[in-house]
């Protein structure tokens, strides 16, 4: 079956530091890949997505590239802010299936 593996957190960074959150996946077909973000006490919201190999999703300074050869979709940001503190979820869905599979989430804390 499909699965998503994320690096364990929490990740603590100083403001303006570089961020990488690793994500790898297992899928039988050609999935779409997503990063969702959850701010404290809220539901999840889509941060970015990529639908095919070598696509780069980007939003709010975050980027992730769909790497089929390494089955990865790592999240990066060049300079994090305190307001980026949240839980980040990597996810996938396959065409023809009505489900989205999520990773376990990585908590990011950015300190001033």
> Contact positions toward another protein, by CB under 8 A?
31-32, 34, 36, 41-46, 49, 51, 89, 93-105
Query: Minimum CB separation from another protein for residue 43, in Å?
Result: 3
How many angstroms separate the CA atoms of 14 and 82, rounded? 8
Nearest residue (CB) to another protein, 69 versus 99: 99
Burial 44-72 (b: 16+ CB within 10 A, else e): beebbbbeeeeeebeeeebbbbbeeeebb
Instruction: Considering the complex, state which of residue 15 and residue 42 has its C-beta at the smaller distance from another protein.
Output: 42
User: Between 17 and 22, whose beta carbon lies closer to another protein?
Assistant: 22
């Amino acid at each position: 079956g499909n699965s998503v593996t994320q690096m364990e957190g929490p990740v603590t960074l100083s403001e303006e530091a570089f961020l990488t959150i690793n994500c790898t996946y297992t899928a039988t077909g050609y999935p779409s890949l997503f990063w969702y973000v959850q701010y404290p006490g809220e539901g999840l919201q889509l941060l970015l997505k990529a639908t095919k190999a070598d696509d780069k999703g980007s939003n709010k300074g975050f980027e992730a590239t769909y790497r089929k050869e390494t089955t990865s979709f790592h999240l990066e940001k060049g300079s994090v802010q305190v307001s980026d503190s949240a839980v980040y979820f990597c996810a996938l869905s396959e065409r023809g299936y009505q489900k989205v599979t999520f990773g376990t989430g990585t908590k990011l804390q950015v300190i001033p």
